[in-house]
């Protein structure tokens, strides 16, 4: 099983599980909460068919990675990503982040720059800054996140069930873009994640990426559904596109948060078109 050791807790290593398939330009896929790298199933198949090298890893605490009691913050997540890129000696990388994964993309480029990275993609992602403050009136009231934490502590499996219903807009898309079995599969992955990590990631969601985004100097694509109930496009995707110079926003009509599954054909088409563009022409002026 391919692993990269990113730290140690007491007598055990903290290892990240990753998969590395194909050849060509490397594309690193960074998953959302509470899922794993396996959630990129539909994108991985398309990317491999298009001739890319695809690396998908499980964030610490999730999937088949270690479940330490610490490190559920974006500075640590970003260093985990950095260690993976260095271990595999990846260059000319396209970083693709979904939901929480967009935070790693923003913070990595904000801290480490683009020496290893040629393109960036944010899909239904958390930046720029979710919480409402005096200088961030577009954000969400902090009581919402406190309520989520309380619900996770009270009954994590039940909370995940309700969360995933809104993740995929099941009331609208069931039988069309999402099946009961696909939702169940996501629940199975989520409930198997670290209970502590699942809870502590909620605090990470409100990380401020407003200083990271303007530092991004590679062609950037932002993809977001206009029916996203988890991370509404007005608070996230639209603002991210405005913050990253030259970036392009693609709005997926009727797309829920989990649009990488429900609207995979549209997402994949936009992703392939973007990755296939030459670097100098990868962003709109």
pLDDT of 285 > 50? The answer is no
Q: Is residue 240 part of a domain?
A: yes
Residue span of the structural domain in which 144 resides: 3-279
In a domain, residue 38? The reply is yes
Q: Which of 58, 65, 228, 263 is catalytic?
A: 228
Q: Give the model's pLDDT for residue 89.
A: 97
The helix (run of H) or strand (run of E) holding residue 29 is: strand 26-30
> Is residue 248 a part of any domain in this protein?
yes
pLDDT, tens digit, for every residue of 91-109? 999 999 999 999 999 999 9
Number of other residues whose CB lies within 10 A of the CB of residue 200: 18
Phi then psi dihedrals of residue 222, to 5 deg: -120, 125
Domain count, the chain: 1
> Over the chain, what is the mean pLDDT?
96
What is the pLDDT at residue 44?
Answer: 98
Residue 139 lies in a domain: yes
Kindly indicate the confidence band of residue 281, based on its pLDDT and cuts at 50, 70 and 90: very low
Residue at 285 is within a domain: no
pLDDT band with cut points at 50, 70 and 90 for residue 278: low
Relative orientation angle of helices 74-87 and 101-112, to the nearest 10 degrees: 70
**Residue 205: CA count within 13 A, CB half-sphere:** 31
> Which of left, alpha, beta for 188 (phi over 0: left; psi -120 to 50: alpha)?
alpha
Question: Would 19 be classed as within a structural domain?
Answer: yes
Of 31, 224, 257, 263, the active-site residue reads 257
CATH code of the domain containing 261:
3.40.50.1820
pLDDT: is 284 or 125 the higher one? 125
DSSP state of 217: -
DSSP code of residue 58: P
Does residue 195 sit within a domain? yes
pLDDT at 54 over 60: yes
Percent of the chain at pLDDT > 90 equals: 95
135 is catalytic: no
Q: 236, 130 in Cβ contact below 8 A?
A: yes
Predicted model pTM: 0.96
- On whether the CB atoms of residues 99 and 124 are closer than 8 A, the answer is yes
Q: Which residues contact 265 (CB under 8 A, 6 or more apart)?
A: none
Burial 237-257 (b: 16+ CB within 10 A, else e): bbbbbebbeebbbbebebbbb
Annotation marks residue 99 as catalytic: yes
Q: What φ, ψ does residue 186 adopt, rounded to 5°?
A: -65, -40
| Domain assignment of residue 43, yes or no | yes
In tens, the pLDDT along 113-146 reads 999 999 999 999 999 999 999 999 989 899 999 9
For the beta sheet containing 93-98, the strands, ordered from the edge strand earlier in sequence to the opposite edge, are 3-9, 12-21, 53-57, 26-30, 93-98, 117-123, 220-225, 248-252
Instruction: Look up 228 and say whether it is catalytic.
Output: yes
Q: Catalytic pick from 99, 125, 186, 194?
A: 99
């Amino acid at each position: 099983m391919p692993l990269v050791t990113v730290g140690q807790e007491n007598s055990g290593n903290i290892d990240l599980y990753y998969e590395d398939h194909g050849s060509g330009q490397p594309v690193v896929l960074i998953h959302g909460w509470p899922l794993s790298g396996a959630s990129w199933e539909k994108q991985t198949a398309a990317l491999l068919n298009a001739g890319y090298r695809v690396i998908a890893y499980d964030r610490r605490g999730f999937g088949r990675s270690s479940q330490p009691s610490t490190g559920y913050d974006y500075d640590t997540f970003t260093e985990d990503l950095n260690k993976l890129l260095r271990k595999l000696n990846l260059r000319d990388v396209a970083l693709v982040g979904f939901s929480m994964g967009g935070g790693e993309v923003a913070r990595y480029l904000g801290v480490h720059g683009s020496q290893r990275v040629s393109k960036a993609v944010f899909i239904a992602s958390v930046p720029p800054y979710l919480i409402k403050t005096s200088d961030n009136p577009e954000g969400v009231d902090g009581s919402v996140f406190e309520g989520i934490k309380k619900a996770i502590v009270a009954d994590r499996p039940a909370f995940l069930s309700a969360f995933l219903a809104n993740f995929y807009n099941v009331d609208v898309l069931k039988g069309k873009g999402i099946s009961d079995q696909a939702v169940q599969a996501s629940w199975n992955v989520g409930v198997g994640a670290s209970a502590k990590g699942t809870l502590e990631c909620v605090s990470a969601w409100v990380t401020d990426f407003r200083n990271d985004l303007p530092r991004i100097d590679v062609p950037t694509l932002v993809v977001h559904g206009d029916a996203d109930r988890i991370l509404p496009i007005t608070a996230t995707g639209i603002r991210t596109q405005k913050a990253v110079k030259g970036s392009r926003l693609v709005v997926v009509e009727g797309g829920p948060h989990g649009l990488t599954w429900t609207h995979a054909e549209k997402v994949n088409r936009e992703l392939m078109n973007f990755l296939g563009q030459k670097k100098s022409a990868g962003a709109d002026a």
